[in-house]
Amino acid sequence: MRTRGAGFWLGWLGSGLLLVAVASTTLAEDYLLGPAISVVHENDMIVRTDRHYTAGSKLNYLGGEVDLTDVNGRTGFAGWLAKHAPSFGPDPAVARLGLGVGQNIYTPTDTATRAYQPNDRPYAGVLYASLVLQTRGTTSGGTERLDIWRLDLGVIGPASLAEDAQNTVHRVRDLPTANGWANQLQNEPALALRYQRTWRFGPGGSQLWSWDFLPTAGASLGNIGTYAALGGQVRWGRNLTRDFGPVTIDSINTPTTGRVLGGDNPTGFYVFAGVEGRAVGYNSVLDGNLFRTGHHVDKFPLVGDTKFGAVFTHKWFDVTLAEVIRTKEFIGQKEIDAFGSLSVSFKWDRPTTR
């Protein structure tokens, strides 16, 4: 029954994407984005729990976009990668490179006991670095789209420093420490190659109040996670930014930090809500180590997220507050999970018009 619920979400999302694609107006590319840095932190203590996906942090850097139509060929390494990556349609108009570093922490529900808990998810940590290629362009029908190619490399196990990170924060905050880290997954390399496309549908123009719909489809291959994903989100607000919406740490995408569309007004505000369904083939923090036997649980093959929140945008920075509710991920899990997300992005300069 739980699995069918996630499957229903996937079917609903596919239908919604098709309907909106037929009904929506397309937008053209006419601007470039400058460099940006974003910091994201997620924690489940917002809902007063400390279990499963208990915390995550990530730092992202995106360089300025280069114009792939530059007749002088001044596109650098980003342009070279973009021209050699599959475009799945018309060639993109602009490209940018990015780097990221992140850490995710996972624990069972009972962190007070030192005993091995075979019926709950393993203690696990993932520490990784990301190389990102982000391209923007339009489909053959003229709809704005964003493509992400991302390579994650890192480590799973004690070398991820998840135990130190969690218990240090708990000691500083005078909270009970997690005592079962001796049972965590063993060290092994972490790898994932990920791809995602996001489309942007909306009324166009620079209305003071506006909305858009951002459907996504993507996939990941590697021992960090092997899955296919389908989702989307709706945004509505004042001086809506011309970008591809807020993201969480689990998102394949990275923040695009677009500009406000409301003329010279440098600030904006919007609310958003979205869903994503994933068909999961392998998840190291549930299935356990790939290259050795050890603690693991039987996962559900279909998992769904619902997220909602608000974003304040400015010429020089964006602030995002979100909450994510996730369906049960493994057999024997007693309750669904939820966590909060705070993201702050800083933009080096105002986008320039072509």
Residue 259 tokens read as 């500009």
Report how far residue 352's alpha carbon sits from residue 34's, in angstroms, rounded to the nearest whole number: 8
Stated pTM of the model? 0.86
**Structural domain count, the chain:** 1
Nearest-CA neighbor of 309 among 276, 255, 269, 272? 272
Beta strands in 257-301 (DSSP E): 268-282
Report how far residue 102's alpha carbon sits from residue 8's, in angstroms, rounded to the nearest whole number: 32
Phi/psi of residue 297, nearest 5 degrees: -130, 165
Q: Which residues contact 198 (CB under 8 A, 6 or more apart)?
A: 145, 146, 148, 214, 215, 216, 244, 245, 253
Phi/psi of residue 11, nearest 5 degrees: -65, -40
- Model pLDDT, residue 71: 62
Q: Tens digit of pLDDT per residue, the chain (354 long)?
A: 334 444 444 444 444 444 444 333 333 345 788 899 999 999 987 767 778 999 999 999 999 899 888 767 677 888 889 888 988 888 899 999 999 999 999 999 999 999 999 999 999 999 999 999 999 999 988 899 999 999 999 999 999 999 999 999 999 988 889 999 999 999 999 999 999 999 999 886 667 899 999 999 999 999 999 999 999 999 999 988 888 999 999 899 887 776 655 456 678 899 999 999 999 999 999 999 988 888 999 999 999 999 999 999 988 899 999 999 999 999 999 999 999 999 999 988 654 444
The answer to whether 293 and 122 have CB atoms below 8 angstroms apart is no
Length of the chain: 354
For residue 127, count other CB atoms closer than 10 A to its CB.
19
Residue ranges making up the domain that contains 171: 2-353
- Give the three-state DSSP class for 176: coil
CATH number of the domain that residue 28 is part of: 2.40.128.140
CB < 8 Å & 24+ apart, contacts of 171-178: 176/111, 176/112, 177/111, 178/50, 178/107, 178/111, 178/123
